[in-house]
A and B are shown apart, each in its own frame.
Chain A
Amino acid sequence: MSENKIEIRNLYKAFGRKQVLNGVDLDVKKGESLVVIGGSGTGKSVLIKCIQGLLVPDKGSIKIDGEETVETSKNIHQKMGMLFQGAALFDSLSVWENVAFVPLQHSKISRKEAKNEAIKVLKQVGLAADVADLSPAELSGGMQKRVGLARAIITRPEIIFFDEPTTGLDPIMADVINDLIIESAKGLGATTLTITHDMASARKIADRIAMLYQGRIIWIGTVAEMEESDNPYLRQFITGSSQGPIKMEV
């Protein structure tokens, strides 16, 4: 059995004439926290959506626990959880119904039991029980992210994806979310794949960091290795400089 939880080989995806993923090779080891960094429009979200089966790649292979998942008919989502960039909570359901969505749909438990379970998980992410009956629209951005996190972890998934988890949050709330991500992932022993362009967040939650540029992984290593690296693309990105080999399309 391979020690890799996720193995991506030679992944290509284009939208019309725009080649977004251009031969991505990436391994995510069991239990590690891998953060993919890269500028806007470099294909980070497309990569994560391909892994989850939300988009079908044009070419290439994605294996989870050694099993090919591209165009598989198996339900690959049971072992995955995902925190979306905008939390993607269902407006038509209350907070607790959002959190307990999977238990309510797929388990034979009563609504009361599901609600208790949801409140327990909401507490784990730092939200009080009285939030449970509110509608998602009544929550602040940070609270919505916490609810999204609670919904992602209630099924105790083996892999959790985080799509720009700190975008749109103030620095303090962003750090709170980072801590919650670390705590919940470690608590579950889950493998996590995060995409972000927030370097403070990446440094805090990553075991390893990979940089995506023009649809390819151009650098991968630990946080310490990143600080030492003289890769000009990586240096420009982590220092946030407009001068360097990466030219922004304006």
Chain B
Amino acid sequence: MLKKTFETFLQTLGRAPVGFIVSLGYFSQFVAKSVYNCFMPPFYFKLFGKQFLNIGFYSLPVVGLTTLFAGMVIAIQTYSGISEYGAESVVASVVLISVTRELAPVLSALMVAGRIGAAMAAEIGTMRVTEQIDALVTLSANPFRYLIAPRIWAAIIVMPLLVLFGDIIGIFGGYLVGVYKLDFNPANYINNTMNNMEAVGIIMGVVKAAVFGFIIAVMGCYHGYRSKGGAQGVGEATTNAVVTSSILILVFNYLITELFFAR
């Protein structure tokens, strides 16, 4: 009796870590398979184009609005924080650095994770539970090449473009606040911005964007691909895709920053 209770206790204790390791195994296998199939023909250019448009073009408004307000807020915060030291010259460079290095890549990625990661998980999850993925296999189409590779390629390529767009809008947001609210001289503001522009910050933002694009597509596809149990399963997949990709975006944001600026 005591032995059985002890066994049950150990089983309960061990279930969570074992489950975690098993999931990690599935996930690693999925990522390896996805990356491999990204480089294997056939390449579905039409599907890539569709995803490119969906992730890129249709995310422009949300990325634009997010980075615009982020740039505006940074301008006000910087001004109010250090106005006594003559913040006028500092605001432009702080807006530039914070937008290009951090705000544009991270906020855009979180927005796209919510919009696109969720949609990918829902679409692929529905295809899984309605046997459309099995149907692809029986029709001699590899689901990794047909469904996953075009999404990964599109996300990796389009995210840097979105972030460059976000950089411009975010800096413009800072300019709007600086010139129209804080009464800075427009020419001075632009000069300050251009003088402080450095390649490393922008390159880092772009590198981050590409990595975040990969994370969003892989997490969206992974959770969708492994979803089961009908509508509820698809709902869970969608939530998990957004939560895990958001956390990974923040973790990798730190790691890439460390990589670029570690002394």
Contact = CB atoms under 8 A, between A and B. Distances in A.
15 contacts: A54-B137, A54-B138, A77-B137, A80-B138, A84-B134, A85-B131, A86-B131, A89-B132, A90-B127, A90-B136, A101-B141, A102-B139, A105-B140, A105-B141, A151-B139
A88 B128 CA distance: 10
Given A85-B131, A86-B131, A105 B137 contact: no
Interface in A58-96: 75, 77-78, 80-82, 84-86, 88-91
Nearest to B134: A54
Interface in B114-156: 126-127, 130-132, 134-141
A88 B140 contact: no
A101 B136 CA distance: 9
A59 B23 CA distance: 24
Interface of B: 42, 126-127, 130-132, 134-141
A49 interface: yes
A72 to B, nearest CB: 14
Nearest to B50: A92
B139 A77 contact: yes
A81 B141 CA distance: 13
A210 to B, nearest CB: 22
Contacts of A85: 131
A82 B130 CA distance: 14
A84 B256 CA distance: 46
B140 A77 contact: yes
B140 A82 contact: no
A134 B140 CA distance: 24
Interface residues of A, number: 22
Contacts of A82: 135, 138
B135 A90 contact: yes
B138 A81 contact: yes
Interface string A7-26: 00000000000000000000
B135 A84 contact: yes
Give the dominant DSSP class at B's interface.
Answer: helix
Contacts of A88: 130-132, 134-135
Interface of A: 49, 52-54, 75, 77-78, 80-82, 84-86, 88-91, 101-102, 105-106, 151
A49 B134 contact: yes
Contact of A52 (B127, B130, B136, B138): B138
A234 B138 CA distance: 32
Contacts of B140: 75, 77-78, 102, 105-106
Contacts of B138: 52, 54, 77, 80-82
Nearest to B136: A90
Nearest to A82: B138
Contacts of B136: 90
B133 to A, nearest CB: 9
B137 A84 contact: no
Contacts of B135: 82, 84, 88-90
A67 B130 CA distance: 30
A86 B135 CA distance: 11
A84 B134 CA distance: 9
A173 B135 CA distance: 23
A223 B136 CA distance: 34
Nearest to A81: B138
Contacts of A101: 139, 141
Most chain A CB within 10 A, of B130, B131, B135, B136, is at B135
Given A77-B140, A105-B139, 16 more contacts: A52-B137, A52-B138, A53-B137, A54-B137, A77-B137, A78-B140, A82-B135, A84-B135, A85-B131, A86-B130, A88-B130, A90-B135, A91-B132, A101-B139, A101-B141, A105-B140
Q: Which of A49, A53, A90 has the most CB of B within 10 A?
A: A90
Contacts of A53: 137
